[in-house]
Structures are given as C-alpha cells and as structure tokens.
Amino acid sequence: MENSPSLFIQAFLTYLSCVPLCVSQSSSEEAAAEEAAEKLLRDTFESEKFVPDIIPEPPLEQLQVIYNGTKVPLGGLIPFDQAANRPILKWDERDAFYTIIMTDPDSPSRSDPRLSELQHWIIGNVYRRNISSGETFAEYTGPRDAREFVVEEGTHRYIISVFEQMGKQVFTERRIPRENMLFRGLFNTSKFVKEYRLRGPVAASYFTVDHEATKLIPESNATASKNARIRRILSDKNL
Ligand SMILES: *[C@@H]1O[C@H](CO)[C@@H](O)[C@H](O)[C@H]1NC(C)=O
Ligand SMILES: *[C@@H]1O[C@H](CO)[C@@H](O)[C@H](O)[C@H]1NC(C)=O
Ligand SMILES: *[C@@H]1O[C@H](CO)[C@@H](O)[C@H](O)[C@H]1NC(C)=O
Ligand SMILES: *[C@@H]1O[C@H](CO)[C@@H](O)[C@H](O)[C@H]1NC(C)=O
C-alpha cells in the first residue's frame, strides 16, 4: 500500500520516457517497412529481368492495379477474365502528364517470346490520373482477347508502367483498335521511352495469367480458324 504511489510514479515516469522513444521507434519501423517494400520491388523487377530488358530503370513505387474491384499483388496470378477490362490504376501522382504502357514480354510463350513485347494498352498525355483525358494508341485488350488471335502458351507476365512526361506532347503513334492483334507485336518499351524522353517508370507493377488453364475451354471453330490464320502469318514472317 505504502509502495503504490511511488510505483505509480515510476510507471508514469517510465511511460513518459517511452513516449518520444516509442514514437520514433514506430516511425522508424514504418520507414524500415517502406524501405523493405521498395527493395523488394526493385529486386523483383531485376530478378524478372524487366530491368533493363523492358524498362530502363526500376520503378520508384509499386503501381496499384485494381481489376474488377480487387487489388492485384505484385506478380499475382489472376484468373483469366479478371483482366478482361482495363484496370483502375493508382499512383502518387503530381501535376503532370503521364504515359501508361502495358505489355506482355512472354508472347506466345516465355520460352519462345517471338512476339515480345505484345502491346496490351498504351495511352499518352494522361493528365494526373484521369485516364479519360489521355490519348489512346493501343486500345486496351485483355489476355483472353489476345488468345483469340495468338496461340498463347503457359504463364505470361503482364507489366504495367507509368512514365512521367515533360509536358503535354505530340506522339506519332498509330492507333490500334481493341480487336487488332497484328500490329501489337515486337514493341519495345525502352525504345518508346527513349524516343519520347519519358521519365521513370515512376510506378509499375505486373501480374501473371495462366494461359494453359484456358485450354480447358474448347477452341470454337471461329477461334480455331483465326488461330490457323495467325499461325500462317507468323510462319510467313518467319516469326
Ligand atoms: C467481378 O467481380 C464480381 C464480384 O466479385 C464477380 O462476381 C465477377 O465474376 C467478377 N468478374 C470477372 C470478369 O472476374
Ligand atoms: C477527365 O478528363 C475528361 C476528358 O478530358 C474530362 O471531361 C473530365 O472532366 C476529367 N475529369 C476530372 C475529374 O478532371
Ligand atoms: C529496345 O530498345 C532499347 C533502347 O533503344 C535497345 O537498347 C534494346 O536493344 C531494344 N531491345 C530489343 C529486344 O530490340
Ligand atoms: C466445327 O465444325 C465442324 C465441321 O465443320 C462441326 O462438325 C463441328 O460441330 C463444329 N464445332 C463447333 C464447336 O462448332
């Protein structure tokens, strides 16, 4: 009983001495977690060889990719149809114009990427994060749409990168409609970035889709004849 006031004071003093320490500890923990996340992002982009094969440097931050209401984790395997329509993208935007590039470096397969990179979505002059303000070059096409035209095999990676422009600029790109696959192959993101002097990527992410899983779906006759046509074109071009 006699001890309790001093115990209380001791506890209080301990609490006081902890306040600045605990606060700085938790903010330094946050900083450490942030640093670890950035390192993981950099390491992943390097180990997947996205840097320097596809993009010139690792992204500054992970792009948030939201398909059909679900946030996709870095490298996450998603069901085929989840990526049917274009995703919502979030990044730490500034008062600037951006170019968004989504490509598949594994077409038609990771072991034989003759068509790499295959363009899935390219849009420039996007003001802040307002996609509708942008100028579309390659209209969005999902993994299933590509499979209707190209004999995609195995697991593919789809990279989405956001580059910052120096201002609103003039692009001399042809417009590729959603259903057009012929002009989508043999794209080079790094070359595009260099040509238009884009900065970054300021944010990027990637996800994976298993094309083998779709082989369970029988090829319709229309798809089969389209695939045969594409196979002919590819063999004529020696691709
Ligand atoms: C989108 O999400 C809804 C609700 O979660 C789900 O029922 C639907 O199947 C999803 N659509 C696709 C194409 O994944
Ligand atoms: C986004 O851009 C479109 C087209 O330029 C414009 O009509 C719309 O108001 C913009 N939205 C916002 C939130 O600024
Ligand atoms: C893509 O473009 C970059 C930059 O111009 C070049 O260094 C690289 O060799 C090109 N990659 C391919 C596969 O042609
Ligand atoms: C594809 O065509 C063949 C012969 O023309 C026909 O027998 C078959 O039923 C068709 N299959 C489908 C899935 O339409």
Per-residue pLDDT tens over the stretch 112-151:
998 899 999 999 999 999 999 999 999 999 988 887 667 7
State how far the Cα of 183 lies from the Cα of 201, in Å rounded to an integer.
24
Q: What is the 96 CA–ligand 2 centroid distance (Å)?
A: 14
CB 142 within 8 A of CB 156: no
Whole-number pLDDT of residue 31: 84
Positions of the chain with pLDDT under 50: 1-3, 216
CA dihedral 215, 217, 223, 224 (to 10 degrees): 60
- As a whole number of Å, the end-to-end CA separation of the chain is 88
Instruction: Return the structure tokens found at 181.
Output: 């696959």
Question: Ligand 3 pocket: which of 190, 192, 193, 196 to mutate (most atoms <8 Å of CB)?
Answer: 190
The pTM for the full model equals 0.79
Average pLDDT of the chain to the nearest whole number: 84
